[in-house]
Amino acid sequence: MADVFISYSRRDKAFVEVLHDALVASKYQAWIDWQDIAATAEWWKEIEAGIEKAHTFIFVISPDSVTSKYCLDEVDYARERNKRIIPVLRRNAELPKSFSHIQWLPFRETDPFEPAFEQLVAAINTDLEHNKTHTRLENRAIEWAQKNRDGSLLLRGSELEAAEQWLIQAGAAQKEPKPTDLQVEYVSASAAGRRLANNRQRAAIGVLAMLLLLAIGAGGVAFVQYRTAQAALTEKDDALTREENARELAEQRLQEAEAARELAQQAEAGEAAQRQVAEEKQQEAEDALTQAKAAQKAETQQRQRAEAARQRAEAGEAEAERQKDFAQTETLRAEEATERAEAEAFNADIQAESLRIKNLMASNLNFKALLAGLKLGQQIQRAENRGLTSRSITLADRLRQVAKTDTLARLPPQHKLRPEVRLQAAAALREIYNYPGYLHRNTFKAHTDWVRSVAFALDSETLASASDDGTVKLWNISGELLQTLSGHIADVNSVAFAPDSETLASASDDGTVKLWNISGELLQTLTGHTDPVNDVSYAPNGEMLASASDDGTVKLWNTDGLLLQTLVWHPHPDDPDDVNIIRRHSHFNSVSFSPNNQFLASADDSGRVMLWNIDGRLLQTLEDDETWEWGSEVVINSVSFAPNGETLASAGNDGKVKIWGGNYQLLQALRVGSYRPLEPQIDDVNSVSFAPTDQTLASASNDGTIKIWSENRQLLQTIDGHIGPVSAVSFAPNDQSLASAGADGTVKLWDRSGRSPQALYRYELFPLSSTGRSLHFFRSVSFAPDGQVLASGSLDGTVHLWGRDGQLLQTFEGHEDGVYSVSFAPDGQVLASASADGTVKLWNRSGQLLKIFEGHEDGVYSVSFAPPDGQIIASGSYDGTVKLWSRSGQLLQTLDGHKAGAYAVSFPLDGQTVASGSYDGTVKLWSRSGQLLQTLDGHKDSVTSVSFSPDGQTIASASRDGTVILWNFDLDDLMAKSCTWLRDYMTNPTTPAEHKELCENEIPELRSTPLGWLAPIQRAFASLTGPFQTTPASRR
């Protein structure tokens, strides 16, 4: 048996000769094709035999070998036989995919030969006994297979036991190379042969047992027939009883013999005539004694044979049980491997879909991206509801269950959705939900100036847009440009479809209204206005249209272009207020027909809405008595009737939408405006901290205040107690206290009463000098998990430990520059400090320095332990990197992606992801393996602090731009908000069923009927109002 097989290209022969000689000198048998193939041999069969007999396969990497068919065939055969493959790099080349994951050894011309050869020898000797056994067993199996699986070649006795033990150890330890299928089949066949032999032996024992008779008796009368050995196994107690009876019978015969001997002696003393009879009786007694002893011996021998048969039977049963356990173990391992593969596939699918959503956004297909995000969220929710992300169950747990139940446990699959993958999915949905204009299904680009108005045809197949470039464009809903309508000589302000969807009207600054068909043909030009026309609208019955103009009139036309009415507001001659506003009132911005075609509503620059009948008579003027004043600057830009004809909505430049109803009285004024999660503080925000048990958030700022916010982002309390900037804030684990550190040289402890504090009571603690002030500038503060000890870091390079009563417990000295961050490990026994001297130091609570982490190229400004065990530590540095360390000081990962210093790091409670905040104004989320998961871009200045909420679904970031931003990654919440936003679309009768299914959990009415309860109302609305259109905003 050779030790190694060398596969190489002929161009590398000179190097291979040197390698071969070195291996031989090191006492290895090396198979090489120039000396191990006979001249008359079949070349490939010899190659196969050489690979089979060697326990290690060395592949010499070069551009020639990786493209050689012969070399690659050798590699494939070695992989087929599960050989240990060691690549050695002679000349740079791309590795074959089949073993690109294996680390090669450097043997290039520029690499020293001796160190590389020592590495090669170490690799060959690694687990050498396992490797040799693998080769020896493989060769035996190949011979058995080649000889038609001859039973005489099967393993037996200790060889079989050793092979079984090797298979079990190889599987349990996942050793390489793995057993081949042929090896497993060969050992299994050998075990089956052993069971067959045992069965035959057991049958032979049974036959012998039936031939054996036990005879016990006095005078040759009694005999006992012993049952078969197999019966003795199943009727052990009966056999023991019979044995006891036999002993008692023998003892009885002994007693009888003794009695006979005494009788004979008495007879000899009495009469000579009876001496002979006595001697005969004595002889009979002696014979009986001899027979009894013989019976006892036979019974003992039979009992020994029965015990030996029982032990052999129990050994066979134990072997069968062991084989059963082995089969169960292998089955469970196979199941676990399958479940791991399914879990990886599941995670890969989620990641791929998250990436696809981002690609859709990059292609401006935001509506498709939102639907894809909802589908992805629903897939995750359903998977979690099926228990696919349930608690992981180890193989040992399952084997213990097998041992208890004696049945193969069937446990649910372990589709463990990795936290970072779930975060990526939530981030994709969050990004599209928060993206401006995310509902865009398509972006239509063809106009060269502002687009003032868009309108759908009633058939929902055609869309019209009006632009300041003087054109109207017709599109289909896929974004294809159908027609460009050119004819206006100035900006086009409004466009509207007739109810038949075949005709449309456009209004322009050139003072005209034009009528077109959808083929682009100009049908009519309506002239009569003397100033720009701002809006045009068809009556629901399609028999007339209205136009609103800056000339102070609304005109009614029939579809042939005939002017029917001119509506003009006339001020009351006796009302001076009317006269004062006539100039401002002269501009009409919007006009709308009632559903019954009998009334019109107009909006103008006076801030009022006017109702007219179609005969031109002013019926009513609508105004907000509380806010409307003569001469106010309020402009009404748009007005529209509701389908019931009894309600009216108007929108103005005061930021309000007003609802009018019940004789057109003001019902409600809706304030429309932007929403910021948290109102800005007036200066840099340096630190944020979530309360441990709820979503309450504290922020600390350079303005000297601490602000407390509720989970719904309302400001609860402003704490003012420091003189100068507050550099850090931290909640205590009991959720009832918080600590702050300031540039005024003090650390302050604050107490709050109740879950949502109405008042905060301040306790000024920790005086560091006789005046109660200190020259120290505290940069960081952190509670120990027990809440009884507080750590602070100072610009003088020291770390202080304090009791809750303000007593100074310890001072740690060792840093050469300011300490910017301190953090307790989850066990509370170890403390980490980060310093501008570029190091992270670990201390115990007694002040003993345990470890120094060095590796950053600039100051370290943040440090954090990963829950739950604190075995991983993250540090953020001014060098722009975040580093992950083991607690022993080993560098695990360097996270490089920020464009400026990393000022803050934080872990969620599961410890699986890490967030970093940077001077580049971004927050980045990373997996513990170093993968960048998401970049959060929203701050306008450096990010100074990041903190996860207790449920890990929200991240708070503080910035020097004076804001705190809450980033929502709650997948369920994002699903609900997205579906709420899409309610109108989802409840529309024309929406595809597969889209509605995405929100059936968030919109209950989607589950009641196919169209939901809004369907009849939607159909009525469509029938009453005609095609939907928008009205232009005032440009004044």
Question: Distance between alpha carbon 39 and the CA centroid of its chain, in Å?
Answer: 61
Q: Are 259 and 194 in contact (CB under 8 A)?
A: no
What are the pLDDT digits (tens) for 488-535? 999 999 999 999 999 999 999 999 999 999 999 999 999 999 999 999
Q: How confident is the model at residue 762 (pLDDT cuts 50, 70, 90)?
A: very low
- Asked which of 211-225, 352-366, 804-818 is least confident by mean pLDDT, the reply is 211-225
Angstrom CA distances, 869 to 180, 280, 689, 790, 830, stand at 40, 95, 21, 20, 12
Q: What angle do CA 799, 805, 808 make, to 5 degrees?
A: 30
When the candidates are 2.170.120.12, 3.40.50.720, 2.130.10.10, 2.30.30.100, the CATH number that belongs to 685-962 is 2.130.10.10
Q: How confident is the model at residue 1016 (pLDDT cuts 50, 70, 90)?
A: very low
Instruction: Tell me the average pLDDT across 884-898.
Output: 94
What are the residues facing 73 on neighbouring strands? Answer: none
What are the pLDDT digits (tens) for 454-478? 888 887 788 899 999 999 999 887 7
Rounded CA-CA distance 1024/290 in Å is 124
Q: How confident is the model at residue 669 (pLDDT cuts 50, 70, 90)?
A: low
Q: Are 701 and 712 in contact (CB under 8 A)?
A: no
Q: Where are the domains of the chain?
A: 4-126, 205-342, 357-434, 451-671, 685-962, 974-1025
Fold (topology level) of 4-126: Rossmann fold (3.40.50)
Q: Are 209 and 230 in contact (CB under 8 A)?
A: yes
Cis ω before 989 (30° cut-off from 0): no
Rounded CA-CA distance 649/641 in Å is 7
Q: How confident is the model at residue 134 (pLDDT cuts 50, 70, 90)?
A: confident
Q: Are 864 and 780 in contact (CB under 8 A)?
A: no
Which tokens sit at 991?
């929406």
Is residue 767 over pLDDT 70?
no
Task: Look at residue 570 and give its three-state secondary structure.
Answer: coil
- Asked which of 321-325, 465-469, 621-625, 864-868 is least confident by mean pLDDT, the reply is 621-625
Q: Are 606 and 585 in contact (CB under 8 A)?
A: yes
Compare 47 and 405 and report the one with higher pLDDT.
47
Fold match between domain 451-671 and domain 685-962: yes
Q: Are 791 and 779 in contact (CB under 8 A)?
A: no
Tokens 């990373």, residue located? 926
Q: Are 917 and 957 in contact (CB under 8 A)?
A: yes
Is residue 703 over pLDDT 90?
no
- Asked which of 155-159, 231-235, 521-525 is least confident by mean pLDDT, the reply is 231-235
Tokens 């003569």, residue located? 630
Most confident of 426-430, 716-720, 840-844, 947-951: 840-844
Is residue 764 over pLDDT 70?
no
- Asked which of 88-92, 737-741, 898-902, 952-956 is least confident by mean pLDDT, the reply is 737-741
Instruction: Tell me the average pLDDT across 140-157.
Output: 87
Task: Look at residue 692 and give its three-state secondary structure.
Answer: coil
To the question of pTM greater than 0.85 for the whole model, the response is no
Is residue 232 over pLDDT 50?
no
Compare 121 and 780 and report the one with higher pLDDT.
121
Rounded CA-CA distance 675/965 in Å is 12
- Backbone φ and ψ for 944, nearest 5 degrees, come out as -105, -15
Angstrom CA distances, 659 to 72, 609, 736, 912, stand at 79, 11, 46, 50
Instruction: Tell me the average pLDDT across 554-578.
Output: 79
Task: Look at residue 502 and give its three-state secondary structure.
Answer: coil
Q: Are 882 and 900 in contact (CB under 8 A)?
A: no
Task: Look at residue 591 and give its three-state secondary structure.
Answer: strand
Q: How confident is the model at residue 994 (pLDDT cuts 50, 70, 90)?
A: confident
- Percent helix / strand / coil, the chain, rounded to 5: 35, 30, 35
Compare 634 and 577 and report the one with higher pLDDT.
634
Element (DSSP H or E) covering residue 905: strand 902-906
Predicted pLDDT of residue 250: 52
Q: How confident is the model at residue 836 (pLDDT cuts 50, 70, 90)?
A: very high
Instruction: Tell me the average pLDDT across 533-548.
Output: 95
Counting Cβ atoms within 10 Å, is residue 257 exposed (0-12), middle (13-18) or buried (19+)?
A: buried
Rg over CA atoms, the chain? 47
Torsion 619-621-625-631 (CA) sign? negative
The torsion defined by the Cα of 316, 321, 326 and 330, in degrees rounded to 10, comes to 140
Rounded CA-CA distance 616/610 in Å is 11
Q: Which CATH class is domain 451-671?
A: mainly beta
Q: Are 182 and 142 in contact (CB under 8 A)?
A: yes
Which tokens sit at 351?
């990641």
Which tokens sit at 926?
């990373």
Q: What angle do CA 1000, 1003, 1009 make, to 5 degrees?
A: 65
Rounded CA-CA distance 955/947 in Å is 6
Q: Which of 166, 133, 134, 57 is nearest to 102 (CA)?
A: 57
Predicted pLDDT of residue 566: 94
DSSP for 387-453? TTT-----HHHHHHHHHHHSS-----------HHHHHHHHHHHHHHHHSTTTT-S------SS-EEE
DSSP E strands, 104-255: 105-106
Which tokens sit at 730?
């931290």
Angstrom CA distances, 978 to 419, 633, 985, stand at 22, 36, 11
Q: Are 833 and 821 in contact (CB under 8 A)?
A: yes
What share of the chain in percent tops pLDDT 70? 76
Angstrom CA distances, 269 to 160, 257, 265, 280, 283, stand at 74, 19, 6, 15, 17
Q: How confident is the model at residue 649 (pLDDT cuts 50, 70, 90)?
A: confident
Q: Are 917 and 945 in contact (CB under 8 A)?
A: yes
What are the pLDDT digits (tens) for 234-287? 555 565 566 566 556 656 765 665 665 666 566 556 656 556 765 777 787 688
The one-character DSSP state at 152 is G
Element (DSSP H or E) covering residue 891: strand 891-896
